[in-house]
Structure 1
Amino acid sequence: MCKPFIRNHQYNVIKKQVGILQNALRTIVDPKVLESVRYGTESKIVELFPDVPDIQKQMLERFSSLETVEDFQKYLREFEPYLVEFPQVTAKQIQKLFPKNKKLKIPDLSVIDNRYVTYLSWVDISTNKLFMVYHLNGHFIGIEGKYTPTNKKSFCFLCNRCEELALFSAISQKRPANSSPDYYKAVGNYLCVNSHECNKNISDITSLEKFIETVIR
């Protein structure tokens, strides 16, 4: 058995391409057009893993032979043992990430399926704060900021899906030289109200890591 090699956001890309090809098989009659869609979707999956061993590449390339709903479901299920879990983090470790929050309310970590997590986040309604935990370069990073629901739908900066959003505004930890004691810089972006759904949809971590780097550096 291969070791896990598929991260959550990559698995979401695979699911998206499965959906595109399934829809094409239902709606496209022209075999040349269908073959083009099949080639394009398979290429996007294989391109996610340019350096995987041949045995893993062969698993991914089976996508080209899928035809039925059962085929696609089996294809996705077979990847589940190969999902890279979000690293186990304890309540004590999370508390250390947010040392100024002595009464930090931490979610029940035991009910979270870490296979389908790109980032952890939760909201403390009593303080209108959102807390985010991400694993970057071998370390856990904690980001906290003001959480303001918009009651509107638009595109989340993390998953790029049209969802109900909230404004997440964090204070940058970087200070210019010779800045006054009162200086601060807020870094804000609109993200999904429902982080569980966001984790199911996120397919690229570039924006997430750029946001975190902007806050912590």
Structure 2
Amino acid sequence: MVKPFPFIRNHQYNFIKKQVDLLERACHSVTDPKVVESVRYSVHFNIMEAFPGADGLQKQVLEKASTLRAEGEFRHYLHSLELYLTEFPEVTGKQLAKLFPKNKKLKLPDLTAIDYRYVTYLGWVDIATNKLFIVYRLNGQLAGIEGRYLPTNKSVCFVCNRHAEVALFTAVTRSKPANASPDYYKAIGNYLCVDSEVCNKNITDVTALDKFVREVVGTHES
């Protein structure tokens, strides 16, 4: 038996799950078959549009989502997709320390408790220093960002676009204009989920996160 080749990233899996949930609700609560078929078509279109480079086998896996009908098929299908999930690079404490060299007493998350299949970015808080840390894969390389965080009331997270417990995360950009003075300083802030695990379960699009990381680390899209 040929081993499935992973091609679905965490945020894409979340997107598929959201589409499958929409179809399941329609199948169970809508009596008009035309409406259900309309939802079915929309689910098919949205999922395929999210994977423009899918090959033949990958298309077969993805197209199955819009064919689900009976109760139990939906959960079974989502479970079957776990074989195709691409893992976030498994990191070590030494690797994280290299990403944040100025933090000699860097507090690390429990790396043994992480299921890297469901990670779009690593995020954790160090309450002692009032800092929040993010590790994200950019252009095939891990990039680390640290910044101050200020807990606020519930608001919309800029990464997962969900209403949740957030903090104002502010990081200093490393990029400078060509004619900038030596003391040039620019901070970029956004509301981010305090609990990165919850955020990783909800994120369906990496556009905003990717842009934010690029702005902070000063890397242009290649």
What TM-score range do you get, normalising by the shorter chain? over 0.9
Which region of structure 1 is more displaced relative to structure 2, 26-35 or 191-200? 26-35
1:106-141 deviation line (CA, Å, top 9, x unaligned): 112111000000000100000110011011111110
1:169-190 CA distances to partner (integer Å, 9 max, x unpaired)? Answer: 0001122344344331110000
Question: How far off is 1:49 after superposition?
Answer: 1.6
2: distance between equivalents of 1:38 and 1:87?
34
Distance 1:8 1:111 in 2: 17
Q: What is the one-letter code of the residue matched to 1:168?
A: F
User: Residue type matched to 2:168 in 1?
Assistant: L
One-letter amino acid of the structure 2 residue matched with residue 51 of structure 1:
G
Contact 1:2 1:56 in 2 (8 A): no
Alignment partner, residue 146 of structure 2: 144
Q: SS of the counterpart of 2:90?
A: coil
CA distance in 2, matches of 1:23, 1:198: 23
Residues 63-114 of structure 1, C-alpha deviations (whole Å, 9 max, x = no match): 2321133100110011101100001111101101111000001112111000
Q: How does 1:82-97 map to 2 (within 5 A)?
A: 82-97=84-99
Q: Which amino acid aligns with 1:206?
A: T
1:171 maps to which residue? 172
Q: Measure the CA separation in 2 of the matches of 1:155 and 1:68.
A: 35
Partner residue, 1:187: 188
Structure 1 residues 95, 64: closer, same or farther in 2, change over 3 A? same
Q: Verify the 8 A CA contact 2:148 2:170 in the aligned structure 1.
A: yes
The aligned length equals 216
SS in 2 for 1:191: strand
TM-score under structure 1 length normalisation:
0.96
Aligned counterparts of 2:170 and 2:72: Cα–Cα separation in 1: 44
Equivalence for 2:209: 208
Superposed counterparts of 1:150-161, under 5 Å = 150=152, 152-161=153-162
Q: Which runs of 5+ in 2 are unaligned?
A: none
| Alpha-carbon distance in 2 for matches of 1:115, 1:107 | 17
Cα RMSD of the aligned pairs, angstroms, is 1.2
Instruction: Calculate the TM-score normalised by the size of structure 2.
Output: 0.94
State the distance in 2 between where 1:98 and 1:88 align. Answer: 17
Aligned partner of 1:14 in structure 2 is: 16
Give the Cα separation in 2 of the matches to 1:86 and 1:98: 19
Stretches of structure 1 lacking an aligned partner (at least 5 in a row): none
Q: Letter of the 1:189 partner, please give it.
A: N
CA distance in 1: counterparts of 2:148 and 2:109, whole angstroms: 18
Give the C-alpha shift of residue 26 in structure 1.
Answer: 2.1
2:27 is aligned to 25
